[in-house]
Structure 1
Amino acid sequence: MENEKIDFLKTYLSLYIGHQEIVEHLDDPDSPYVVLDIRNAPAAIKKDQIKGARAIAAKDLTAQLATLPKDKTYVVYDWTAGTTLGKTALLILLSNGYQAFELASALEGWKGMHLPIEPVAAD
């Protein structure tokens, strides 16, 4: 039973990427990462986002897959790590052959660490 728990935790943790790996690529035009803000909310509600993030609401992600190059690694985030939108977006991406991770600690953790954010462009 302990080995099953360990295997489960290894798989679970493999779905996440830490902020430190993303921060070092934020200003790199050749970054291997594309950060996706998948929050289902208008710009007026969101107000800010991770610097350089591309907004694609989780509800629209399947319809937008053709706009995402497959040679990048996608990092999805939602408001908090406890919500399911990030996991739903991750499932969509992985099921369609994309390399993807969910951002550990989500936007809440990113902002709590005072990492780069920017205003969300008006819809």
Structure 2
Amino acid sequence: MNTEKINFLQTYLSLYINHSEVLPEMQKPNSNIVVLDVRNAPAQIKQDQIKGSVAIPAKDLADHIDELYHEKTYVVYDWTAGTTLGKAALLVLLTNGFKAFELSCALDGWKGMHLPVESIA
């Protein structure tokens, strides 16, 4: 029984990437990481985003899949880690053969650690 639980947790955790891995890579010129803001809300509701992220709502991601590059690693985020938009976007990316992760801290955690954000409103 524990083996099944361990395997499940290993798989689950492999879907996430930590801010401490993402931020230094984002700051490099020609970074291999692209951070996607997949929140399904207009800019006036969102107000801010992770600095340098690209906004593609989860509901529209499949329609924009041809605009993405397979040699990049995509990191998606939603409002909080408990919401499902990041997971839905991650499923679209992985199903289409992209290397992708969900940001483990989501936007709430990112902002809570005072990491770089930018205004979009």
**What is the distance in 1 between the residues matched to 2:111 and 2:35?**
15
C-alpha deviations, 1:39-97, integer Å up to 9, x for none? 00000000000010000000000000011011000000000000000000000000000
Quick one: distance in 1 between partners of 2:23 and 2:34?
12
In the alignment, is the contact (CA less than 8 A) between 1:26 and 1:51 conserved in 2?
Answer: no
Structure 1 unaligned blocks of 5 or more: none
* SS of the residue 1:28 aligns to: coil
Partner residue, 1:58? 58
- Gapped runs of 5+ residues in structure 2? none
Instruction: Note the 1:1-123 alignment, pairs <5 A.
Output: 1-120=1-120
**Residue pair 2:76, 2:102 contacting (<8 A) in 1 also:** yes
Runs of 4+ in 1 over 4 A off after TM superposition: none
| Whole-angstrom distance in 2 between the partners of 1:115 and 1:85 | 21
- TM-score after normalising by structure 1: 0.96
Any idea what SS the aligned residue of 2:74 has?
A: strand
User: How far apart are residue 25 of structure 1 and its match?
Assistant: 2.0
Percent of residue pairs identical: 65
Q: What's the RMSD between the two structures over aligned residues?
A: 0.8
8 A contact 2:49–2:107 mirrored in 1? yes
Corresponding residue SS for 1:24: helix
* TM-score normalised to structure 2 length: 0.97
- SS at the partner of 1:25? helix
Aligned residues: 121
Residue 7 of structure 1: SS of its match in structure 2? helix
3-state SS of 1:118 partner: strand
Shift of 1:26: 2.5
| Distance in 2 (alpha carbons) for counterparts of 1:99 and 1:89 | 12
